[in-house]
Amino acid sequence: MQEISEAIKAAVKDLFNVDVEPVLTRPDEQFGDFATNVALQLAKKLNKNPRVIAQQLADKIQSDTIAKTEVAGPGFINICLSDNYLIEQALDQKIAQPLKDQEILVEFGDPNPFKEMHIGHLYSSIVGDAISSLFEANGAEVRRVCYQGDVGLHVAKWLWGVHQELGWDDAAVAKLRDLPHTGIGYYYSLGAKAYEENTEAKTEIDVINTKVYSKEDPQLNKIYELGKRLSFDKFQDIFDLLGIAYKKQYLESQSVEIGLKYVKENTGKVFTHSQGAVIYEGEKVGLHTRVFVTSKGLPTYETKDLGLTELKNTDYPNAARSIIITANEQSEYFKVMLAALSEIDKPLADKTTHLAHGFLSLSSGKMSSRTGDVYGATNLLNLVQNEVKQQYPDTNPENETYLAAIKYAFLKHRLGSDVTVDIKESVSLQGNSGPYLQYAHARACSILAKSPLQGQSKLQGQTLQEGERGLVRKIGEYPEVIEKAAAELMPHHVCMYLYELAQTFNRFYENNKVIGDSRQAGRLQMVKAYADTLKNGLTLLNIPAPEKM
Site for RNA in 229-248 (CB under 7 A): none
- Which listed residue (430, 454, 456, 463) binds RNA by CB under 7 A? 430
SS3 72: strand
- Find the binding residues for RNA in span 375-394 (CB under 7 A): 392
By CB under 7 A, is residue 414 in contact with RNA? yes
- Find the binding residues for RNA in span 284-303 (CB under 7 A): 288-291, 294-296, 298, 300-301
- Find the binding residues for RNA in span 351-370 (CB under 7 A): 358-359, 363
Residues that contact RNA, how many (by CB under 7 A): 91
432 vs 533, beta carbon nearer RNA? 432
By CB under 7 A, is residue 465 in contact with RNA? no
Contact 138, 483 (CB under 8 A): yes
Contact 66, 1 (CB under 8 A): no
Determine the longest span between alpha carbons in the chain, in angstroms. 87
- Which listed residue (14, 216, 422, 466) binds RNA by CB under 7 A? 422
- Find the binding residues for RNA in span 302-331 (CB under 7 A): 328-331
149 vs 376, beta carbon nearer RNA? 149
- Which listed residue (274, 368, 390, 460) binds RNA by CB under 7 A? 274
181 vs 492, beta carbon nearer RNA? 492
By CB under 7 A, is residue 477 in contact with RNA? no
By CB under 7 A, is residue 56 in contact with RNA? no
Q: Which H, E and C letters describe 121-172, residue by residue?
A: HHHHHHHHHHHHHHHHHCCCEEEEEEEECCCCHHHHHHHHHHHHHCCCCHHH
Closest CA to 324 of 145, 488, 494, 485: 145
Q: How far is the CA of 147 from the CAs of 112, 121, 134, 352, 425, in angstroms?
A: 8, 12, 21, 15, 33
- Which listed residue (219, 390, 460, 506) binds RNA by CB under 7 A? 506
> Considering only 27-35, 95-103, 135-143, 218-226, which stretch makes contact with RNA by CB under 7 A?
27-35
Contact 12, 18 (CB under 8 A): yes
- Which listed residue (19, 200, 398, 510) binds RNA by CB under 7 A? 510
- Which listed residue (320, 439, 458, 479) binds RNA by CB under 7 A? 439
Rg (CA), the chain: 28
- Which listed residue (118, 143, 144, 154) binds RNA by CB under 7 A? 154
What H or E segment, with its residue span, contains residue 248? strand 248-251
Phi, psi of 36 (to 5 degrees): -140, 150
141 vs 549, beta carbon nearer RNA? 549
* Cα 169–Cα 171–Cα 175 angle in degrees, nearest 5: 120
- Find the binding residues for RNA in span 85-144 (CB under 7 A): 112
